Chain A
Amino acid sequence: MNPRFHPREDHWLDYAAGQLDAASRSLFEAHLAFCEPCRRQAAQYTAPGGALLAGLPDLPVPPAMLGGILARLKAPEPPRVGAETLPIPRSLWSLLPSLQGASWRGALTRGFRFLEAAPGLFLIHMEKGRPFPEHGHTGLERSVILAGGLKDAGSVMEAGDFDEADGSRVHSPVALPDEDCWILASLEGGIRFTGWRGVLQRLADK
């Protein structure tokens, strides 16, 4: 089933032209992995580049270059944090950088945890049926559901669904009851908790 929530169409131009930062690019690629209509839209913007590339002269490359590339090929591996292998669909493994040095924040016993997978790129894990505490953002937040689903402001979002929110939105998504929810999110700025967590955050920031 195709996702129901998509990036704006013109963002595929930004993607094709390389105008996105690396974290946002990962989000768009995660959505593409699920969404055939968006792959077609993106192709509209990559095609003129492909036409140029295919017509460029075939310059000689150093003879050892191909061997050098082949020697560095590795089989894709599932993302791991410490000894834990994460249940991320295989088609998305290449989007997550090595997480060996990453550490979880929050705790699954309280319903959620997250880690910074790369600068500005966060992997969020919500236990099935549990909420992520009410929060806002200090900048643009983009997210894609990698597995499972959640309910957010009355909308149900499932694998592949894309969301974009500016800093004005305060929300408290809840994971759907039947499966843990894994989310990839890019944040410009940080998370701003409201309620009692906000009080703790402000104290911690002092």
Chain B
Amino acid sequence: MAGLSDGGLLARIAAQEQEALAELFRRYGGRVLAYVRAMAAAPFPHEDAVQEIFLTLWQKAGLYAPQGGEAAGWIFTVTRHKVFDIQRSLGRVRESGGLDLELFGGAPSEVDPTLAPSVQKALAMLPEDQRVPIRLAYYGDLSYDEAARRLGLPAGTVKTRIRAGLSALRNLLLRKGNP
């Protein structure tokens, strides 16, 4: 299992191999916990959320197709969906806002020590009017409407800026040789 790509693991998970899920957890469990903690302000059941996220990955692995892109992106999306579902079930008003990427600024990554800083560096290269909406409503836990109220912009403008910013961000990350 350890030699398999993330996508290969998801294919095994779709075939109901528990050991593949265990390996995916070993690769991503701590990172998913880090993201959930950064995204959802306490009090929030961060560890319960991680369990629910991996149970969802088990159930939905059959929907993932390797040609659909990097597995990490799919895990990221499943994670966001689960955090939002839990927030809704708790009836909580989301207030934490932008993900604090500085939180991870000095932390080395065991997967690729250049990767997290490169996301930050790439973000820092974006114009502020794209960077801030991305931090609020793409990486952070605000809806378009909530981000729009905070920024004093129409929600459609927030979405347009996120879209343009992600396109630029993707190109910057690719240029750096990262996924």
| A interface residues (Cβ-Cβ under 8 A, vs B) | 10, 13-19, 22, 25, 29, 32-33, 36, 39-40, 42-62, 65-66, 68-70, 72-73, 75-76, 90-91, 94-95
| Range class of the B interface residue count | 35 or more
Please tell me if the beta carbons of B72 and A69 are within 8 angstroms of each other in the complex. Answer: no
Please tell me if the beta carbons of A48 and B170 are within 8 angstroms of each other in the complex. Answer: yes
| B107 on interface, CB distance cutoff 8 Å | yes
Chain B residue contacts of A68, Cβ below 8 A? 51
| B32 on interface, CB distance cutoff 8 Å | yes
Chain B residue contacts of A60, Cβ below 8 A? 30
CA distance A59 to B108 in the complex (A): 11
Please tell me if the beta carbons of A50 and B169 are within 8 angstroms of each other in the complex. Answer: no
Please tell me if the beta carbons of B75 and A53 are within 8 angstroms of each other in the complex. Answer: yes
Say which residue of B32, B51, B69, B85 sits within 8 Å of A53 (CB atoms): B32
Q: Do A56 and B116 contact each other (CB < 8 Å), given the known contacts A13-B163, A39-B65, A50-B71?
A: yes
Q: Which 9 A-B pairs have the closest CB atoms?
A: A43-B69, A46-B73, A50-B73, A55-B116, A50-B72, A55-B115, A39-B68, A49-B76, A18-B80
The chain B residue sitting closest to A90, CB to CB, is: B62
Please tell me if the beta carbons of B138 and A17 are within 8 angstroms of each other in the complex. Answer: yes
| B112 on interface, CB distance cutoff 8 Å | yes
27 A-B residue contacts at CB 8 Å? A13-B166, A17-B80, A17-B137, A18-B81, A19-B143, A19-B144, A32-B68, A33-B63, A39-B67, A43-B68, A44-B166, A47-B73, A47-B170, A49-B72, A50-B179, A51-B118, A52-B76, A52-B119, A54-B111, A54-B112, A57-B107, A61-B30, A65-B25, A66-B25, A68-B51, A69-B51, A76-B16
| B33 on interface, CB distance cutoff 8 Å | yes
Would you give the shortest CB distance from A9 to chain B, in whole angstroms? 10
Please tell me if the beta carbons of A66 and B22 are within 8 angstroms of each other in the complex. Answer: yes
- Apart from A49-B77, A52-B76, list 14 A-B contacts with CB within 8 A: A10-B159, A16-B76, A18-B81, A39-B69, A43-B73, A47-B173, A51-B118, A51-B173, A51-B179, A52-B35, A55-B118, A65-B50, A73-B58, A76-B16
| B129 on interface, CB distance cutoff 8 Å | no
Cross-chain pair count, CB within 8 angstroms: 200
Say which residue of B16, B47, B80 sits within 8 Å of A62 (CB atoms): B47
Please tell me if the beta carbons of B84 and A18 are within 8 angstroms of each other in the complex. Answer: yes
Chain B residue contacts of A73, Cβ below 8 A? 18, 21, 55, 58
| B44 on interface, CB distance cutoff 8 Å | no
Please tell me if the beta carbons of B170 and A44 are within 8 angstroms of each other in the complex. Answer: yes
| B150 on interface, CB distance cutoff 8 Å | no
CA distance A41 to B107 in the complex (A): 31
Please tell me if the beta carbons of A47 and B65 are within 8 angstroms of each other in the complex. Answer: no
Please tell me if the beta carbons of B63 and A94 are within 8 angstroms of each other in the complex. Answer: yes
The chain A residue sitting closest to B59, CB to CB, is: A94
Would you give the shortest CB distance from A31 to chain B, in whole angstroms? 10
Would you give the shortest CB distance from B90 to chain A, in whole angstroms? 15
Please tell me if the beta carbons of A55 and B73 are within 8 angstroms of each other in the complex. Answer: no
Please tell me if the beta carbons of B116 and A46 are within 8 angstroms of each other in the complex. Answer: no
Would you give the shortest CB distance from A162 to chain B, in whole angstroms? 15
Q: Do A18 and B77 contact each other (CB < 8 Å), given the known contacts A13-B163, A46-B69?
A: yes
